[in-house]
């Protein structure tokens, strides 16, 4: 019984910090044409310098493991934008009172928020064709964020974001 409790608590903690990703891409794009990449020179990621360096290092190793090469004359450019925002609690408890009789009815309902709202970080990854200057792939990620997290925790969180965001890159075209 005790082990079950530990497993439930662990599952709850892992699910609370899950990375959510939305993808979008141009269906007409031939992703096999893109082998070399680089980053926008004027990229303003919205991350601290240390977090940006961590993210770029993780992204470089992920893309290079997939066979892409960092180049001074790339076929596509990567732009990264990050935003921090306060999310609302998605959990509510409804309390209702009602009554009726003799064709007369009435009611009262109140929604009470349960749990705390949290700070979320959204990171957008845009892939832009360097020759056409057109967006051809985008990943929009969201994850819980703690401003006072230790450097190792920040790096692990960024690794999870990149792993999840690039797990479906390049997309399988049908």
What digits encode the pLDDT tens for the residues 146-164? 888 999 999 999 999 999 9
Instruction: Find all residues with CB under 8 Å of 67, minimum gap 6, and list them.
Output: 35
Instruction: Find all residues with CB under 8 Å of 25, minimum gap 6, and list them.
Output: 136, 137, 138, 171
What pLDDT, on a 0 to 100 scale, did the predictor assign at position 172? 84
In DSSP terms, 150 is beta-bridged to none
CATH of 19-95+112-165 among 3.40.50.740, 3.40.50.150, 3.30.160.670, 3.40.640.10: 3.30.160.670
User: pLDDT at residue 117 above 60?
Assistant: no
What pLDDT, on a 0 to 100 scale, did the predictor assign at position 118? 78
pTM: 0.74
Percent of the chain clearing pLDDT 70 (strictly above): 72
Tokens of 49: 């310098």
What pLDDT, on a 0 to 100 scale, did the predictor assign at position 174? 65
User: pLDDT at residue 31 above 50?
Assistant: yes
């Amino acid at each position: 019984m005790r082990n079950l409790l530990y497993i439930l608590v662990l599952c709850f903690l892992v699910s609370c910090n899950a990375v959510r990703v939305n993808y979008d891409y141009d269906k007409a794009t031939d992703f096999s044409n893109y082998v070399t990449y680089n980053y926008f020179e004027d990229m303003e990621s919205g991350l601290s310098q240390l977090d940006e360096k961590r993210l770029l290092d993780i992204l470089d190793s992920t893309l290079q493991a997939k066979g892409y090469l960092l180049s001074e004359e790339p076929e596509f450019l990567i732009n990264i934008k990050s935003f921090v925002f306060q999310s609302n609690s998605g959990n509510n408890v409804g309390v209702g009172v009602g009554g009726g009789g003799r064709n007369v009815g009435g009611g009262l309902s109140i929604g009470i928020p349960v749990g705390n709202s949290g700070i979320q970080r959204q990171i957008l990854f845009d892939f832009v064709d360097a020759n056409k200057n057109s967006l051809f792939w985008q990943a929009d990620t969201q994850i819980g964020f703690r401003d006072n997290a230790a450097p190792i925790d920040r790096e692990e969180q960024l690794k999870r974001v990149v792993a999840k965001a690039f797990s479906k890159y390049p997309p399988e075209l049908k």
